[in-house]
Structure 1
Amino acid sequence: MLDNTDLQILDELSRNSRISMKELGQKIHLSGPAASARVEKLESSGIIEGYTVKINQVKLGYHVHAIISIYTKSTHHQPYLSFLKTQEPYVLNNYKISGDSCYLLECKFPSNEELDQFLVKLNEHVNYQLSIVINK
């Protein structure tokens, strides 16, 4: 069971996972070693699964952010999933979901032309509905 201190730790680490344990402790009114022990406990219990880096896709040259609802043509999804593995630079996330569609695909593209090429290849495996992200 998480207490308020654990929730504060998770909140602080969500904002800045590179924070020092001393600084984290100061923010949540614990010593650095006590904060470190709490973080280790959250990690060993599986509540904290890892740490990540937030990347600015636009600065990397990816100007088109697409959310694509995927409608499979059959119950055999492996051709679609295999296709995604060949599209590594574009695919951010592929969520299997419930509802009208089977998957929700999140992608990034340098241009509309590359998005179009991707969609032509994608349509060989599945039907889709495209949404473009205007602003986060």
Structure 2
Amino acid sequence: MSKQDIDEIDLKILQLLVENSLQSNKEIGEKVHLTGQAVGARIRKLQDLEVIEGYTLRCNPGKLGLQVSAFITVFMKSADTHASFQHYIQRTQSIVEAHRISGEGCYLLRVQVPTPMDLNDLLGEMVQFGNYKVNLSIGQLK
């Protein structure tokens, strides 16, 4: 893919989808002065180019009883534990986001759990893989 494959209208369509992915192609078309069918074709092109990788849903974790949000930096014990830790990440529902990082630590995790005790239990499970540093979220700004 090259930059020339994407024009200003494509970028505007992307912006509109990021703002509200539930908009119909017709609604987007009215904002970018195209037919709904033309918008659909452009969206398919952006998917084929892997610019659009998928669609997600944002929910309010607090309304689901997940009151504690934390960021955990994990420092692995040894190189041999990475594969098993990555498997652990995939099967642990309370880990909602995971990144392999450079700099301080090996992984950065975002977790959401109901209570501080649940966070303590999660940390107890993770100690088998290495050490960690925890930062609690006291409010989400964006």
When normalised by structure 2's length, the TM-score is: 0.89
Q: Unmatched 5+ residue regions in structure 1?
A: none
Question: Which contiguous aligned blocks of 4+ residues in structure 1 show a shift greater than 4 angstroms?
Answer: none
Q: Unmatched 5+ residue regions in structure 2?
A: none
Write out aligned runs for 1:21-40 (5 A).
21-40=25-44
Q: 1:81 aligns with which of 65, 79, 86?
A: 86
Match of 1:41 in 2: 45
For 2:83, give the aligned amino acid.
Q
Write out aligned runs for 1:56-135 (5 A).
56-76=60-80, 77-86=82-91, 88-135=92-139
Identity %: 36
Partner secondary structure for residue 55 of structure 1: coil
Instruction: Report how many aligned residue pairs link the two structures.
Output: 135
Partner secondary structure for residue 99 of structure 1: coil
For 2:73, give the aligned amino acid.
S
Q: 2:58 aligns with which of 40, 54, 59?
A: 54
Q: Deviations over 1:24-69 (max 9, x none)?
A: 0011121211111111111111111111111211111101011000
Match of 1:10 in 2: 14
Question: Please, which moves more after superposition, 31-40 or 76-85?
Answer: 76-85
For 2:19, give the aligned amino acid.
R
State the shift of 1:84 in Å.
Answer: 2.8
CA RMSD of aligned residues (A): 1.3
Partner secondary structure for residue 102 of structure 2: coil
| Cα distance in 2 for residues equivalent to 1:37 and 1:83 | 39
When normalised by structure 1's length, the TM-score is: 0.92
